[in-house]
Structure 1
Amino acid sequence: MARIAVIGAGMGAMAAAARLAVAGHRVTVYERSATYGGALGRFERDGFAYDTGPALLHLPAVYRDLFLKTGKKPLEECVRMTQVDPASRHLFPDGTDVSLPNTSRAGVVSALDAALGAGAGTRWGDFLGRARDAWDRSRRPLLEEPLRGDWQVLGRDPYPAVPQRRLLRAPRVAGTVAEVGTGELADRRLAALFEGYVLSYGLDPRRTPASAALLPYMEQTFGTWYVQGGMRALAHAVYERCLERRVEFVFRADVIRIVEKDGHAAGVELAPGPAASGSTVVEADHVVAGTAPAALVDRELWRDGDVRPWGEDGSGAPSVPGRFTVLLALRGGRPDGTAHRTVVHSPDGGDEADAVFSGRTAERPTVTVLRPDDPTTRPDDGHEALTLTATVAPHGPVDWNDAGPRERYADVLMEAAGAAVPELRERLCWREIRTPADTAAATGARGGSVPAPSLAGAEGRLLRPANSTRLPGLYLVGGEAHPGGGLAHAGMSGTLVAGLIVEGADFRGSR
């Protein structure tokens, strides 16, 4: 039985902790805050309740597998999950309104044909077919296996782009999300649909490789799910599973150093507590770090030729965006037939991307409106809890602590959301604003950035550092490590780290 110290109680870290405990190891989690769940926060006021991080689950199989492998009760006995149908409603600047069904390729094609015109659905369906090819080519090395030493093979884009003929010129193959939208989808609204998926993950459609087609493919293939009580209920279920497996949690424990001994990770050093006169060293045989790698230790962590954290390799990588969220308490009940998620698309996606990735606020952003049909989110049926989100520049380029920009941008989001929610301002009881500055304070993420999933292509620039490191015995887990950000990907990283520790160098990935 090995002693394992886990830094952070985020979802990836807890997933690793539960699996390692089942394997017979003694696991202790050190969390600097007072609670677990990382980005899966919850805000409550006056009988209203809101997720302050991810609010929908894709690829639920990741957490079903976690619960299957770590205990007797399956996931569905620990939380109540329902498929969101329609999966999403989309409002475009020209007035087009289309709702896309959950996990129905034929249904999506029919809905797009009816709303956008004959042929639009077929083009989207053909696009998803190519996305499936990219999924088949890259799924295991990108998501289910430890990042190999020859990770450069993932630098090639697996998306089979269609050559676009040009008059008197050689055919052109789309290399970015924006180029796929212009050339293959050939409809500004279909392009906005694809680009909206990509931007919601904090990626720039103008520079992100076409392999990002995996993002809408995964959602439309494996479905969109809601957990009653919000995603915080999922975090609580994983925490309870860890406790059942006798994982120990120490909250308000700030790890300030990885202890090394004889060239091996040998424990962690904790900052002095309120009643302590000095720091405390806790010995361990392995250390699993669920914190941002760039903030963990100096650059000597990375071996020559390794994937580095974004912005740490001297490439001048752009800052990673965050989320601007407005929580609304409304008078009046949620109308029957209301879509859980509505996306109000920006009239100028190019201007929006330019603003977000150059450190400005977009004048008319893409806004996602979440309206869960969940009695636990509201005081009674005569009220409604509603959440607005937009992708924005991180804290730093924009001072999100300044009350002026916060309030003005909340007004911008509410104006856009009015297209989806009639009489929104008239129904308002109060609102609460969450910005990247709040995310940074709550999670420690630099600038409140939200890491995106790893993607193949772009010469490997969108990959995350491997779960194993230069220092034997030290492993990385969570959104800042392979295979990147997102709730499902965090669970995958926990699987990979547990496999590396339990099986060692022979581990070849999850099955």
Structure 2
Amino acid sequence: MARIVVIGAGMGAMAAAARLAVAGHRVTVYERTDTYGGAVRRFERDGFAFDTGPGLLTLPAVYRDLFVKTGKEPLEDCVELVQVDPSSRHVFADGTEVSVPNASRAGVVAALDEALGASAGERWGEFLVRAREAWDRTRRPLLEEPLWPNWRVLADKEPYPGVPHKRLLRTRRASTLAEVGDWELRDERLTALLESHALAHGLDPRTAPASAAVLPYMEHAFGTWYVRGGMRELARAVYERCVRRRVEFVFGAEVARVLEKDGRAAGVELTDGTVAEADHVVADVDPVRLRALTEHPLDEDGDVRADLVQPLPGRFTLLLALRGGRGAGAAHRTVVHPPAPESELDFLVSPGGDEPPLPTVTVLRPDDPALKPDEEHESVVVSAVVSSEVGWEDEGTVRRYTDLLLEAARPAIPGLAERLLWHEVRTPEHVEDETGARFGAVPAPALAAGRGRFLHPANTTRLPGLYRVGGWSHPGGGLPHAGMSGALVAGLIVEGPEFRGSQ
């Protein structure tokens, strides 16, 4: 039985802790804040409740596997999973609207044809076939196995297939997601639908590799799910599973440094001077912060994303308490697309002195009695991906973005101005306070191609006994990816360096 210290109580950390405890190890989690879940949190006021982190779940099989492997109670005995249908409603700048059915290719094709015109659905359906090919080529090495030592195999070759071009009499291969939209979808609205999947993760579709096509494919193939009571219920269930497996949690305990002995990680020292010895240390923290916890180099020179020091996009969120019921037929998720998407992307990459343009907003309106005081009210979450460099400590900036999001969200919420009782604002600074991630950045899932710029550091490090877990390590950000990283780290510790992923 090994002693294992886990830094942070995010979803990836807890997934690893539960699996390690079941394997017979003694696991202690040190979390600097007063609760578990990382970014998966809840805000409550006046009978209203809101998810402040992820609002939906893809690939629920990741957490089903976690619960099967760590106890007798399956996931569905611990939380209620609801498949969201339609998966999303999209409101485009020209006023066109389309509701995208959940996990139904025929339904999606028919809906797009009806809303956007004949052949729109066919082009999207053909795109999904190519996206599946990229998924099949990368799924195992990118998501289910530890990052290969020769990770450049994933970095140099674009897995998204080339498309024959009749006029050019040759096959051309898109290198970015924007090129996929321009060359293959040939409709600004279809392109906006495609690119919104990348933007939701803070990715610029103009630079994101074509392999980012796997992001909409994941939703299409595996469905979009909601946890009744809010996504915080999933965090609660994972935490309780850890506790039942005798994982110890210490809250309000910030790690100051990783201890080393005989050339390997040997425990941690807390900011109050407490020392916790361990045989293995698992860190669910921002890579820059992890680097500050040890003087030992963690990656080979020039290794994948070893220098994640530039500010990455964050998320600006409004929590809206509304009078009046949700209304029949309201979509759980609506994406409202702006009139000037290029201006939005330019401002996201390089915010200047001009007023920010209208952003793409995601509006979540769960049909969940647990989130509101009664049927005569509604709780709504409106969010947009934003630059982390605009000065969120300035009240004027916060007011400007609040007004922008409210304006952008009006097409998704009838009578918004008259119904609004109050709102709460959450900036990237709130995310940084809760998760420790610099600039409040939200990590994106790992993607192949792009010369490795969209991969994440391996779960192992050059310091033996120190492992990385969670969204800032392989295989990247997002709820399912966090669960996968926990499984990978547990496998590496239990089975050793020869571990190659689940079979």
User: Does TM-score exceed 0.5, indicating one fold?
Assistant: yes
**1:163 deviation in Å?**
4.3
Residue matched to 2:359:
365
Instruction: Give yes or no for the alignment of 1:291 onto 2:291.
Output: no
Instruction: Give yes or no for the alignment of 1:308 onto 2:292.
Output: no
Q: Contact 1:11–1:487 (CA<8 Å) still a contact in 2?
A: yes
Give 5+ residue unaligned stretches, structure 1. 273-278, 313-317
Amino acid at match of 2:363: V
Residue matched to 1:244:
244
**Deviations 1:391-428 (CA, angstroms, capped at 9, x unpaired):** 0001xx21112111111211111111111112101001
Q: CA RMSD in A?
A: 1.3
Aligned with 1:98: secondary structure? strand
Instruction: Give yes or no for the alignment of 1:399 onto 2:419.
Output: no
Q: Contact 1:294–1:309 (CA<8 Å) still a contact in 2?
A: no
Q: Contact 2:340–2:357 (CA<8 Å) still a contact in 1?
A: no
Q: Contact 2:428–2:439 (CA<8 Å) still a contact in 1?
A: yes
Amino acid at match of 1:92: F
Amino acid at match of 2:452: G
**Deviations 1:339-369 (CA, angstroms, capped at 9, x unpaired):** 0000001112111111111135741111111
Amino acid at match of 2:105: R
Aligned with 2:497: secondary structure? helix
Question: What does 1:315-330 correspond to in 2, within 5 Å?
Answer: 319-330=311-322
Q: Contact 2:305–2:452 (CA<8 Å) still a contact in 1?
A: no
Size of the aligned set, in residue pairs, is: 497
Residue matched to 2:433:
441
**1:281 deviation in Å?**
1.3
In structure 2, how many angstroms separate the alpha carbons of the residues matched to 1:81 and 1:251?
A: 29
**Deviations 1:237-278 (CA, angstroms, capped at 9, x unpaired):** 000000000000000000010000000100000111xxxxxx
Aligned with 2:501: secondary structure? coil
**1:172 deviation in Å?**
4.3
Question: What does 1:123-202 correspond to in 2, within 5 Å?
Answer: 123-155=123-155, 156-164=157-165, 172-202=172-202
**1:164 deviation in Å?**
3.9
Match for 1:387 among 381, 384, 387? 381
List 4+ stretches of structure 1 deviating above 6 A: none
Q: Contact 1:436–1:449 (CA<8 Å) still a contact in 2?
A: yes
Instruction: Give yes or no for the alignment of 1:95 onto 2:95.
Output: yes
TM-score by length of 1: 0.95
Q: Contact 1:309–1:480 (CA<8 Å) still a contact in 2?
A: no
Q: Contact 1:90–1:345 (CA<8 Å) still a contact in 2?
A: yes
In structure 2, how many angstroms separate the alpha carbons of the residues matched to 1:504 and 1:217?
A: 33
Cα 1:109–1:310, aligned 2, differ >3 Å: closer, same or farther?
farther
Residue matched to 2:105:
105
Question: What does 1:203-222 correspond to in 2, within 5 Å?
Answer: 203-222=203-222
Cα 1:144–1:280, aligned 2, differ >3 Å: closer, same or farther?
same
Q: Contact 2:279–2:465 (CA<8 Å) still a contact in 1?
A: yes
**Deviations 1:115-142 (CA, angstroms, capped at 9, x unpaired):** 0011000100000000000011110110
Residue matched to 2:76:
76
Give the % identical residues.
Answer: 67
In structure 2, how many angstroms separate the alpha carbons of the residues matched to 1:381 and 1:90?
A: 26
Cα 1:342–1:480, aligned 2, differ >3 Å: closer, same or farther?
same
TM-score by length of 2: 0.97
**1:47 deviation in Å?**
0.2
**Deviations 1:454-489 (CA, angstroms, capped at 9, x unpaired):** 000001110000000000000000000000000100
**1:449 deviation in Å?**
0.3
Match for 2:502 among 498, 502, 510? 510
In structure 1, how many angstroms separate the alpha carbons of the residues matched to 2:75 and 2:434?
A: 27
Question: What does 1:411-450 correspond to in 2, within 5 Å?
Answer: 411-450=403-442
**1:165 deviation in Å?**
5.5
Q: Contact 1:4–1:288 (CA<8 Å) still a contact in 2?
A: yes
Q: Contact 1:166–1:172 (CA<8 Å) still a contact in 2?
A: no
**Deviations 1:277-320 (CA, angstroms, capped at 9, x unpaired):** xx1111000000001122112571112353234535xxxxx531
**1:166 deviation in Å?**
5.7
Match for 1:353 among 345, 348, 351? 345
**Deviations 1:5-34 (CA, angstroms, capped at 9, x unpaired):** 000000000000000000000000000000
Cα 1:299–1:398, aligned 2, differ >3 Å: closer, same or farther?
farther
